[in-house]
Amino acid sequence: MEMKLEDMKTIMEKLEPVPQPEWDGISYPSFIPFREKGAEKAIQDIMGFKSRESDILLATHCKSGTHWIYEIMQMLLRNTTELEKGAKSNSMLEGISDLSSLDSIPSPRILDTHCSFKYLPKQHIEKKNKIVHIVRNPKDVCVSFYHHASKDKFTNFNGSWNDFFDLWMAGKLLYGAWYDYELEMEQAEKDFSGMIYTCYYEDMKQDPVKEIKKLADFLGVECSATHIEEVAKATSFKNMQEKKFDITQVFDGKGFIYRKGEIGDWKNYFTVAQNEKFDIQFNKKMKDSPGNVYDLYTGDSVLNVDNAQAQSLTQPIKEHFKSEIVNKWNSVGIVQVRLAIHKNGTEVAFFLFDGKESNKTDWFLKERLQNSSYTDLQNSTSNIPTNVFSIYGLQGFLNIYRSFYINSVWGGCASDAGWLMVYDTHNVAGCPWEGYYLSDKPAILYSPISTRVRFSQIDRANLICHSSCLKPIQLDAVTHCYKPCDTIIDVTSKIRQLREDLTINRKNTTSYRRTLQSVYEDRTSAKTMGLTGATFLVSVVCVFIYFDCVRFQTGRSNTKNDICKGQLIIFLKSSVD
C-alpha cells in the first residue's frame, strides 16, 4: 500500500493537467481518486468509509501543521521516537483510490484528511471516535498554502502571491474557505463534546512538551516525561526537515512540505492593504464565533438564552451566555456599576463606577470611578496616571490587544504596570509574561495588593473553574430580566478535566482575531478578553453581570508585587422600580 517516490514519479509523468475536481461548491486537488471517480464519488466513498472504534482521525485545514501533528501522534501511539519511514499521504483518505487498502494497517490507525467535517466518515462520527484538529493563524496558513500550491501539480496554480491572496479572499481555494472549515469544526466540538481535541500550531511551537502531554492524555496514552521530551525533540521542525521523507520531492527534487514552519511569516508577504482586507473579512466571517467574549459583549448578538447548560452554574460551563438585557442597557436605568474581582469565591478587589447616562462600555472610565479597593486608585481624582482605562483597552495599538484594561505605566514589557487586564489569546511575539506565563488562557489579571503592580511579576498558575450560583438563572420573558441566584459557590476542578471538558470547546478560531494586525514592531501582543462562559444576571432592583471564567489562572505569590488571576463580576445598580 505504501507509495514510494519512484512510483510517484512514474505516475506524475503520465498525468495530464486537468481542471480542479469540484462538488457541492468545493474544489479539490486533482488526486488520482478524483480523476478516476469524480469529486462526488470520491467524497461519498470517504463518507462511507468503515471506521474501527480505535481509529483516530486527524482532520485539519491545509497547511496547518498536519504532517507535524501526524508524526507526534504516531510516536505517542507506537511508543517510539523514530520518524515514520513512509509518507502521511499513505493514510490520507482523499488520496487513496481503494480505501479498503487501509484494512492492512494495524490498530490504532491514524487517518488524515483536509475534508470538511460534514464529509468525514459517518461511522467515525456515529461511533464518536477520536478526532484531532489543529488550528493555525490563518494568515500563516495563507502564505504557506501559497508556496505549496505554487509547486504542487495537483493544485494547478501558476500565479503570483497577489493572485493567490485574491483566491483566498474569494473563498475559491482547494477544500473551500478556511472560515467555513473552522466554523464547522467549532460547531462540531459543541455538538460532539469530548470527541474532538483541538490544538494550536503556535502553542505547540512555543511549548511542545506541554502540548504533547495534553495530546497524549486525549489519546489515552501513558507517557513518561522523558519520552514526551524525546518526542518533542524528534518532531522539532529542524529534525523533521533534515530527516523526514518528503513525498513532494517528486515535484521539485527538494520537497516543500517542511518549508519554514515559522510563526508570523505572513508579515513578509502581506501588504498593509491586504492585511486590512483580510482583517475585515475575518471579523465579518468569524463575528458569530463565541470564543471572543469581548466581541460578544460589545456586539448586538445574544447567545444561548434558551440553553440551560450554558446558564447552569452548578457544573463546568461549556458555552458562552449573553442575554438581551446587555443590549437594553440604556433602557434599564443603570445608576451605579460595581466591578468586583473574586478569587475562590471571595471578593479580593473592586471598582465602583457612576453608571448614570452610561452605555454598556463607557461606564468603565476613570472619569466615572467613585471608589476602589486600591489605595492609589480610589476615585477619578487619583494622581496616579492611567494611560489606558477602558473595556476597549488596546485593540491594535503597537499590535497590543488587552481588554477591561486599567494600566498605568508602559516600560518595554518588564516595567508594564497596572491594576487589571483581561487576556485570552495565544501571543506569538509579545511580552514574556504573555507568551510564557499566560500560556493557559483566558486569564483575568489583577493586582493582589493595595496598589498597582508590574504585570511581568507573575508565576505559573493552576487552572481553576469557578461557578457562581447554586441554581440556574431563569429568564423572565416579559421583563427580559434575570432573577439572581441565591448563593454564590466555588467549584474547583483538575487541570486535566478542565482541558478535556472545557478548553476544547472554548478555544477556537477566534483566538486568532487579535493577532491579525500588520504592525511591524518587535513587540506584539495577542487578543485580550477571554472571559469564557460569560453569564449575565439582571433583576428589577439591580443588575448582576457575572463573567464566569471557565478557564483562567489562579496562582500563588512569591513576591509582594505578584500579579494574580481571578473571577470578574460586575454588579449594576438600576433605578428601575
Per-residue pLDDT tens over the stretch 275-292: 888 878 887 787 655 555
* Per-residue pLDDT at 177: 94
Question: Which of the residue ranges 9-13, 415-419, 488-492, 505-509 has the most confident prediction, judged by mean pLDDT?
Answer: 415-419
Question: Which of the residue ranges 42-46, 428-432, 558-562, 566-570 has the most confident prediction, judged by mean pLDDT?
Answer: 42-46
* 508: containing domain: 293-515+523-574
Q: Does the structure show a pLDDT above 90 at 9?
A: no
Nearest to 323 by CA among 194, 198, 473: 473
What are the tens digits of pLDDT across the range 422-439? 776 544 445 766 655 454
- When the pLDDT of each residue in the chain is averaged and rounded to a whole number, the result is 72
What are the tens digits of pLDDT across the range 198-236? 998 888 888 899 999 999 999 999 999 999 999 999 998
Out of 250, 285, 320, a domain closes at 285
Segment 348-377 shows an average pLDDT of 91
Q: Does the structure show a pLDDT above 70 at 100?
A: yes
Nearby residues of 281 by Cβ (< 8 Å), 6 or more positions away: 169, 179
Q: Is 241 in the same domain as 364? A: no
Number of domains in the chain: 2
* Per-residue pLDDT at 463: 26
First-to-final CA distance of the chain: 75
Q: Is 247 in the same domain as 360? A: no
Segment 372-398 shows an average pLDDT of 81
Q: Is 151 in the same domain as 199? A: yes
Q: Give the pLDDT band of residue 333 (cuts 50, 70, 90).
A: confident
Q: Does the structure show a pLDDT above 70 at 461?
A: no
What are the tens digits of pLDDT across the range 251-263? 454 544 656 677 8
The answer to whether the CB of 337 falls within 8 A of the CB of 352 is yes
Out of 252, 285, 318, a domain closes at 285
* Per-residue pLDDT at 466: 28
What are the tens digits of pLDDT across the range 292-323? 566 667 776 677 777 776 665 455 454 567 77
* Per-residue pLDDT at 287: 62
Chain Cα centroid distance, residue 318: 14
CA dist 357 and 47 (Å) reads 56
What are the tens digits of pLDDT across the range 399-423? 566 788 899 987 667 788 899 887 7
DSSP letters for 491-539: ----HHHHIIIIIHHH--GGGGGGG------S-----B----SEEEEE-
Segment 42-71 shows an average pLDDT of 94
CA dist 182 and 256 (Å) reads 24
Q: Is 264 in the same domain as 155? A: yes
Q: Is 369 in the same domain as 446? A: yes
What are the tens digits of pLDDT across the range 152-161? 777 778 899 9
Q: Does the structure show a pLDDT above 50 at 325?
A: yes
The proportion of the chain whose per-residue pLDDT surpasses 70, expressed as a percent, equals 62
> Is 114 one of the annotated active-site residues of the chain?
yes
CATH code, domain carrying 76? 3.40.50.300
Q: Is 226 in the same domain as 299? A: no
Q: Is 230 in the same domain as 364? A: no
Q: Is 49 in the same domain as 189? A: yes
Q: Does the structure show a pLDDT above 50 at 58?
A: yes
CA dist 97 and 37 (Å) reads 9
Exposed / middle / buried, residue 161 (Cβ in 10 Å: 0-12, 13-18, 19+): middle
Return the minimum-mean-pLDDT range out of 17-21, 159-163, 284-288, 326-330. 284-288
Q: Is 324 in the same domain as 472? A: yes
C-alpha distances in angstroms, 478 versus 65, 475, 482, 540, 560? 50, 9, 11, 12, 50
Return the minimum-mean-pLDDT range out of 29-43, 94-108, 434-448. 434-448
Nearest to 321 by CA among 332, 305, 334: 305
Residue 16 DSSP class: P
Cell, residue 65: 501543521
Out of 232, 254, 285, a domain closes at 285
Q: Is 321 in the same domain as 211? A: no
Segment 468-477 shows an average pLDDT of 30
The answer to whether the CB of 571 falls within 8 A of the CB of 544 is yes
Q: Is 167 in the same domain as 307? A: no
The answer to whether the CB of 514 falls within 8 A of the CB of 389 is no
From the candidates 61, 67, 114, 320, give the one annotated as an active-site residue: 114
Q: Which amino acid is at 372?
A: S
Q: Is 487 in the same domain as 398? A: yes
What are the tens digits of pLDDT across the range 504-550? 333 344 444 333 333 333 332 322 223 222 222 222 222 333 333 22
Q: Does the structure show a pLDDT above 50 at 29?
A: yes
* Per-residue pLDDT at 152: 75
